[in-house]
Amino acid sequence: MAIRWTDYPAAPHHDELIAPGGAPRHGAEAVARHLESLGISELTVRQKAAEAAVKAMGITFTVYHEEGGSIDRAWPLDIIPRVIEAAEWRRIDAGLRQRARALNLFIDDIYHAQRIVNDGVFPRQYLADSVNFRSQCVGINPPLGVWAHICGSDLVRGADGTMYVLEDNLRVPSGVSYMLENRQVIKRVFPELFEENTILPVDDYPSQLYDMLRAIAPPGIDKPEVVVLTPGIYNSAYFEHAYLAQQMGCELVEGRDLVVDKDDCVHMRTIDGWSRVHVIYRRIDDLFLDPEAFRPDSTLGVPGLLRAWRAGKVALANAPGAGVADDKLVYTFVPAMIRYYLGEEAILPNVPSYLCAEPDQLQFVLANLANLVVKPTNESGGYGMLMGPRSTEQEREEFSLLVRANPRNYIAQPVLQLSTVPTLIDQQIEPRHVDLRPFILSGSEVQVTMGGLTRVAMRRGSLVVNSSQGGGSKDTWIVETSK
Amino acid sequence: MLSRVADNVYWLARYVERAENLARLVEVNASLMLDLPRELAPGWQSLITITGSQERFDELGKSTSERDIIRFLLAEPDNQGSMVSALAQARELARTLREILPREVWEHLNGLALYVNERANDAVDKRTRHGFLRYVILATQSLTGMLEGIVSEGPALWFMALGRNIERADMTSRIVDVRALGMLPAQGSAMGPFATIQWMSVLRSLSGYQMYRIKTGQRVYPAGVVSYLLADTDFPRACVCCLRRAQEVLLRLPNSQSLVSRVQQLRDGIAATSFELLDGDAVHQYIDQLQLSLAAIHDDIRQTYFLAGLAAVHPGAGESQSQA
């Protein structure tokens, strides 16, 4: 069966590949032509080949099984790539770097002089109510002044074509391994397109990550020992932890492998005895990191780890307390932060947001619940949200009680019509909604992945892109065009 | 290498080796049942004793029929020592070792564990038993070959070799034990004509018949086979050969001096034993002792290298750091 882009229902959303009327967007011409030349049946064959490659390469994610165990599922990948023209990407890249710089300055300020609070730019009571503010981190000077070394910011494009930042994940963002593996698979599926086009490579990430981690080692260490700290095989991102450790050639450790000495140094137990660790890329949440400092019932962490970090004997990435900026209320202040710390205007806009903590905005939100998305400020993964247009009267009533009881805990946003990308569904090409998660590394310099992980909602009309809830993924191509 | 990882790698190899030897154990007993006249055949119950699983077997309340015993040894998920459990545990360990194991190894092991899980009942049926057991032996052998063929020299490979050889020495001694029990009435005239054929099948079940002939140039006779399978330095499934290989690996590992000499002691002891003079009962007792020595070596390895055995506190840490 032939593919005719003129029949493709791009409207009413912004489609990333096809403009209304069926013409390919700038940068996507070659892909669109190539897909046409292949036709549906050949495309289906290649989709099957991609799925077989995913299986053979062992690219999995873990979902919890109903019966208590956990199982590995093959990573879902749709072969039609999402294309972004390099010129546009350069602007996004600059916007993300600007954002990461401002966020790190904000976190450092919050744990020191709190100038932004004293100057009245960030309200003091918001800080006092923040659940991710860690008093244990006050006055600490992490190497290079960086707290959020690895940031995953979610981008979405609205119906008008504007790329917005939806949220910044500064705790333990995941997904980068799938970005890297998707490219490996898609190169096998469309080798001819990679030969004929300038698709910018993504493979540098593990080396950049490793270099950044080495750069934050305590001073005076010639060959720092860098490790990845995982909660263990039952964590949904365990594949990624193992993958990154392997790609960087460093040890993948669990909490029980590490011990903090009386002199505040961290050691891991090896077959040769004890061996000092200088940098920990930790994939365990703050509260589970050190039972002495945070949750005493945590068995995942290392007793004394925070003490070692405070003493400057070990570097932690991300630094404890970095999550203070991973809060949807703080998010609404990022453009103000950029202005305050950098004296610049934000290159990438936020999604317009209403703060329920502000009485007048709260009134607007409550009066317009049916048209808004209401989000708790401290949850991730889409939990505890109200999708106004799809809610029932009763749900809205219940939610308005929740919001009134704790307005600090909620923000509201207009429902965004996320952009779409052509996706292979049951031997047809249909538009499906996507987002994009680039990863930003902050060390002595700030670097952004070339593109990021595109997640796609596989059900028609759905905006849920999470892989645990039936979301898929796409390779993301940053394409250099000659024009 | 991390102690926890070394521990996992060591056990991964032990579990895979255990699965292979369980297949060999069942096979040697099955052939014994075919070879011997009904009144002399030892039945299947001895396998429960020999695998050290009597207690669990009683708890599960199984009958002592051939079917139940084979199912217990190979297919019973509630028996920690069954083939299904051994491979399931190997697979779980391999999952934690993905960053050091080549993908092919994981895929192969995964496939084997799934196969045994689905097909273990084939071993219960006499007609499909042999095919199933041969498949398991072949698949575990190819896994071992894969490790040798594509994993770089280093602690991961060494700890796997260590685990494999300790487990193999132990299981070979158990397989000899099966037949040694059959040796008991060897002095009696009824056993005479069957002795040779029995011990040939022991050798065959360990794939060692040809190697025995080449090495010894002798006919197959009970003490000769016992001596060969326990004391030969070159046959890969003979206890002393396993110990020698474990020793070679230990020499490459740190802090191994006392372990190396402990293994040497056991080797010397076996080499100095004259198996010609032992009857079946004495062989059985000898093998009991041998298994205790192997367990002591395992314990030593654990104390020297693995998490559970290490003092939990850094030597310089003082008393304030005690933890479980």
* Residue in A233, A257, A304 closest to B2 by CB: A257
Cβ contact (<8 Å) for B253 and A57?
no
* Inter-chain CB pairs, A–B, below 8 Å: 75
CATH code of A354-414, in short, is 3.30.1490.270
User: A88-164+202-342 is classed in which CATH architecture?
Assistant: 3-Layer(aba) Sandwich (3.40)
Phi, psi of A470 (to 5 degrees): 85, 15
pLDDT-derived band at B323 (thresholds 50, 70, 90) equals: very low
* Residue in B99, B103, B318 closest to A252 by CB: B99
Which residue has better confidence, A282 or A328? A282
Whether A58 and chain B come into contact, CB under 8 Å, resolves to yes
Phi, psi of A226 (to 5 degrees): -105, 135
Within A25-150, residue ranges assigned H as helices are 29-56, 86-110, 115-118, 124-128
Taking the C-alpha atoms of residue B271 and residue B231, their distance in angstroms, rounded to an integer, is: 6
Cβ contact (<8 Å) for B4 and A269?
yes
Q: What is the per-residue pLDDT for B184?
A: 47
Chain A hits for B300, Cβ within 8 Å: none
Q: What is the per-residue pLDDT for B286?
A: 93
Mean pLDDT of A320-345: 95
Phi, psi of A458 (to 5 degrees): -80, -15
Chain A hits for B6, Cβ within 8 Å: 271
Whether A360 and chain B come into contact, CB under 8 Å, resolves to no
Chain A hits for B317, Cβ within 8 Å: 259, 261-262
B28 to chain A nearest CA, in Å?
36
Start and end residues for every CATH 3.30.1490.270 domain found in chain A = 354-414
Specify the DSSP element, H or E, that contains A78: strand A78-85
Q: What is the per-residue pLDDT for A193?
A: 92
Q: What is the per-residue pLDDT for A71?
A: 66
Q: What is the per-residue pLDDT for A340?
A: 98
Q: What is the per-residue pLDDT for A452?
A: 96
A52-56, B19-23, B125-129: the lowest-pLDDT one = A52-56
Question: A450: closest CA among A103, A147, A183?
Answer: A183
Pairing of strands A226-229, A251-253: parallel
Taking the C-alpha atoms of residue A483 and residue B46, their distance in angstroms, rounded to an integer, is: 81
Mean pLDDT of A337-342: 98
pLDDT-derived band at B181 (thresholds 50, 70, 90) equals: low
Cβ contact (<8 Å) for A259 and B317?
yes
Phi, psi of B239 (to 5 degrees): -55, -50
By C-alpha distance, the chain A residue nearest B108 is: A56
Q: What is the mean pLDDT of chain A?
A: 91
Percent of chain A whose predicted confidence (pLDDT) is above 70? 97
Q: What is the per-residue pLDDT for B309?
A: 43
Cβ contact (<8 Å) for A303 and B3?
no
Chain B residues at the A interface, defined by Cβ less than 8 Å, are 1-6, 92, 95-96, 98-100, 103, 106-107, 155, 159, 253-255, 305, 307, 310, 312-318, 320-321, 323
pLDDT of residue B319 exceeding 80, the answer is no
In this structure, the number of other CB atoms found within 10 A of the CB of residue A94 comes to 13
Chain A hits for B113, Cβ within 8 Å: none
pLDDT-derived band at B278 (thresholds 50, 70, 90) equals: confident
Chain B hits for A261, Cβ within 8 Å: 314, 316-317, 321
Q: What is the per-residue pLDDT for B101?
A: 87
∠ CA(A261), CA(A311), CA(A214), 5° rounding? 90
pLDDT-derived band at B218 (thresholds 50, 70, 90) equals: confident
In this structure, the number of other CB atoms found within 10 A of the CB of residue A122 comes to 21
Q: Does ipTM surpass 0.85 in this model? A: no
Q: What is the per-residue pLDDT for A381?
A: 57
* Residue in B3, B92, B99 closest to A246 by CB: B99
Cβ contact (<8 Å) for B314 and A274?
yes
A214 to chain B nearest CA, in Å?
20
At A140, list the tokens.
């600490």
* Residue in A245, A254, A261 closest to B4 by CB: A254
Q: What is the CA radius of gyration of chain A?
A: 23
Start and end residues for every CATH 3.40.50.11290 domain found in chain A = 88-164+202-342
Q: What is the per-residue pLDDT for B239?
A: 97
pLDDT in tens, A357-395: 899 999 999 999 999 999 988 766 566 888 888 889 999
pLDDT-derived band at B183 (thresholds 50, 70, 90) equals: low
Mean pLDDT of B2-27: 94
Q: What is the per-residue pLDDT for A466?
A: 79
pLDDT in tens, A414-460: 988 899 999 999 999 999 999 999 999 999 999 999 999 999 999 98
Question: A92: closest CA among A342, A475, A454, A438?
Answer: A438
Cβ contact (<8 Å) for B2 and A270?
yes
B273 to chain A nearest CA, in Å?
35
Chain B hits for A256, Cβ within 8 Å: 4, 307
By C-alpha distance, the chain A residue nearest B312 is: A259
A28-42, A153-167, B183-197: the lowest-pLDDT one = B183-197
At A273, list the tokens.
């005895």
By C-alpha distance, the chain A residue nearest B98 is: A242
pLDDT of residue A68 exceeding 50, the answer is no
pLDDT-derived band at B165 (thresholds 50, 70, 90) equals: very high
Cβ contact (<8 Å) for A262 and B315?
no
